[in-house]
Structures are given as structure tokens and as C-alpha cells.
């Protein structure tokens, strides 16, 4: 029986998305299904008996063994060495450094040409759906529709900064539209991107370009989301089910990539095209 769809728990309620005088209050919901990785995560067991354990991280001062042990959450002092001198900062100072002028649960929208933004940013590791509140008014739904129209424009990039949890570092984000719903995609800031190596233009002959285009066209197929499932989760479930029944699950051998038999690109593309057409 198919699992009943679960309404995702909000990661942040009453987020204020503002564009000038226009403001939308909405819920921020993780785009990734809650607990989707839980089935592929395993507990740490006691070495002497199969009892689930939790690591207990403790700290003892390296200069004085009588200081501690402390659990990690009990260490509240913070500092950093500057030119050989340890500089200590207060919790208030550290909080001010982290948040700066970014308000919690707010996203002030700025609009930029998308091509300028795409050249200097990359998607981050989190995506959130923006969902109107349950008690949203008609005016709020209209505001949502306005922001959706703007975010769907491929020539515009709607950017802003936001703080998801109190005390956390502000993230850079971009509003996009996916399946008719506004999503907030975190971005890697231009200043945080690792420098890229310069790669010179690689000349391709007309024959190589034609073969590559023909090959790519022959390999196009309809995209089936069902084939792009979480394979780690499926293998973990199969392993646990087999071992629970007293059986050993078959372990698939790692895939190996064969070395090409020729270094000539045109010959390699031609052979691939022949294989694709024969399939």
C-alpha cells in the first residue's frame, strides 16, 4: 500500500519576503523529504555487545588536566589567535559578527540580471519550498503570484540573504520556480567559490563536432524519475531485510570504467555512434 503523503514540517514559519513595499509572509519548507536518508543511516554499536550507543565527546584542557572534562556543549568561551596573541570575544560580539544587518526570518529581495549572477555563483546544498500560510489572505495569495511571475523570468535573478535559525550564519539565496511553486535555493557566494583553473579553448574539427552532435542526439531519451531513486536507501533496506531473515545479501561489485582503445576523438565518437545505433 502506498505511503500516505506527509505534509512537510515547516523549517521556518512566517518568513517575510519583501520586494520594496510588497511583503509576503510564508512558511519555509524543506524541498527534500524529511527523513529520506534515515533508512540508510546506521547506529553506532557497543564493541562488546550489540547495544546502540551515542558518542560522548568530552574535552580536557591540554595545559591543566584538572580543567574538565567538559562536554562540548558546556564550552562557551570563544577566541582566536591573532599574531601570536589569543583574542577572546564575547557571545554578544560573536552573534553580531555572524548576523550583521540581516534580520532573522526575513528575505529582502534584490533583482539583478540573471546572466551576471549565473557567471559568479553556484547552487548551494539546500532548497526550500515557499508555501503560503494556512490562513493566508487573498492579498497574500496575490502577492505570492506576483513573486512567482518575477521568479519565473529567466532573465531576472531574485536574490537576498536570510537566517534560518537564531544564531546561525546568514545564507545567500535565490528565488526560483519549480512545478508552479516558489523555491528558495541557497547559493555559494562569489567570495566563497574556490578559484578555477584557466582552461584554454580546445579546437574541434568539423568532423568531431558533427559526430558529437549526432551521437548526443542518438542518446537522448525520455527522462524517467523512477530510475533516479535513492539507490543507497534501497540497498540498505535490502541488506537489512535479508540479514533479518538470516540470509546474507548479495554485494554488487563496484563498476569499473574501461580504458578507451584509441586516443583519436573522431574514431572514439564514431565507435560510440555505431554502438548506439546498433542498440
Inter-axis angle of helices 206-219 and 265-278, to 10 degrees? 30
State the pTM of this model: 0.73
pLDDT of residue 11: 58
pLDDT tens for residues 260-271?
566 677 777 777
C-alpha cell at 87: 583574542
Show Cβ contacts of residue 75 under 8 Å, excluding neighbours closer than 6 positions: 59
pLDDT of residue 77: 77
Query: How far is it between the farthest Cα atoms of the chain?
Result: 75
Q: Which of 42-51, 92-101, 155-164, 242-251 has the lowest mean pLDDT?
A: 42-51
Q: Is the pLDDT of residue 63 over 70?
A: yes
* Positive/negative CA dihedral, 103, 105, 110, 114: positive
First to last CA, the chain: 37
Nearest to 173, CA basis, from 15, 23, 9, 1: 15
What is the percent of the chain where pLDDT is above 70? Answer: 78
* Positive/negative CA dihedral, 113, 117, 118, 119: positive
| Three-class SS state of 152 | helix
pLDDT tens for residues 123-139?
998 999 998 988 889 99
Highest-scoring range by mean pLDDT, 12-26, 61-75, 137-151: 137-151
C-alpha cell at 170: 546568514
pLDDT of residue 7: 47
Q: Rounded CA gap, 39 and 236, in Å?
A: 7
- Domains assigned to the chain: 12-34+98-191 (2.40.290.10), 206-219+229-278 (no CATH)
Q: Rounded CA gap, 43 and 171, in Å?
A: 31
Under DSSP, the state recorded for 251 is P
Q: Is the pLDDT of residue 3 over 70?
A: no
Q: Which of 66-70, 74-78, 181-185, 250-254 has the lowest mean pLDDT?
A: 250-254
| Confidence band for 52, pLDDT divided at 50, 70 and 90 | low
Q: Rounded CA gap, 156 and 99, in Å?
A: 27
Q: Is the pLDDT of residue 251 over 60?
A: yes
Under DSSP, the state recorded for 65 is T
| Confidence band for 41, pLDDT divided at 50, 70 and 90 | low
pLDDT tens for residues 191-239?
888 777 677 787 888 888 888 888 888 888 899 988 988 888 888 888 8
C-alpha cell at 85: 596573541
Q: Contact, 110 vs 160, CB < 8 A?
A: yes
Q: Is the pLDDT of residue 96 over 70?
A: yes
Location of C-alpha cell 540508510: 40
Q: Give CA torsion, residues 213, 216, 222, 224, to 10 deg.
A: -150
Q: Rounded CA gap, 138 and 31, in Å?
A: 25
Q: Is the pLDDT of residue 253 over 70?
A: no
pLDDT of residue 57: 64
Amino acid at each position: 500500500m502506498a505511503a500516505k503523503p506527509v505534509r512537510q514540517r515547516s523549517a521556518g514559519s512566517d518568513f517575510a519576503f519583501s520586494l520594496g513595499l510588497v511583503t509576503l509572509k510564508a512558511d519555509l519548507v524543506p524541498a527534500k523529504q524529511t527523513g529520506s536518508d534515515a533508512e540508510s543511516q546506521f547506529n553506532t554499536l557497543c564493541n562488546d555487545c550489540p547495544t546502540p550507543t551515542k558518542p560522548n565527546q568530552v574535552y580536557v584542557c591540554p595545559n591543566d588536566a584538572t580543567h574538565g572534562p567538559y562536554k562540548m556543549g558546556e564550552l562557551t568561551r570563544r577566541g582566536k589567535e591573532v599574531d601570536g596573541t589569543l583574542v577572546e570575544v564575547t557571545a554578544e560580539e560573536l552573534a553580531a559578527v555572524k548576523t550583521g544587518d540581516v534580520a532573522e526570518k526575513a528575505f529582502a529581495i534584490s533583482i539583478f540580471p540573471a546572466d551576471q549572477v549565473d557567471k559568479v555563483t553556484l547552487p548551494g546544498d539546500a532548497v526550500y519550498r515557499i508555501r503560503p500560510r494556512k490562513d493566508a489572505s487573498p492579498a497574500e495569495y496575490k502577492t505570492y503570484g506576483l513573486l512567482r511571475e518575477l521568479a519565473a523570468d529567466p532573465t531576472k535573478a531574485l536574490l537576498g540573504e536570510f537566517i534560518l535559525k537564531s544564531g546561525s550564519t546568514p545564507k545567500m539565496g535565490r528565488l526560483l520556480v519549480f512545478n508552479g511553486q516558489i523555491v528558495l535555493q541557497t547559493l555559494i557566494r562569489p567570495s566563497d567559490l574556490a578559484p578555477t583553473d584557466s582552461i584554454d579553448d580546445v579546437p574541434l574539427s568539423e568532423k568531431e563536432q558533427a559526430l558529437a552532435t549526432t551521437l548526443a542526439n542518438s542518446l537522448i531519451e525520455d527522462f524517467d524519475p523512477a530510475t533516479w531513486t535513492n539507490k543507497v536507501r534501497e540497498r540498505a533496506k535490502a541488506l537489512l531485510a535479508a540479514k533479518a531473515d538470516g540470509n546474507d545479501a548479495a554485494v554488487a561489485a563496484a563498476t569499473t570504467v574501461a580504458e578507451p582503445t584509441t586516443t583519436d576523438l573522431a574514431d572514439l565518437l564514431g565507435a560510440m555512434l555505431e554502438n548506439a545505433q546498433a542498440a
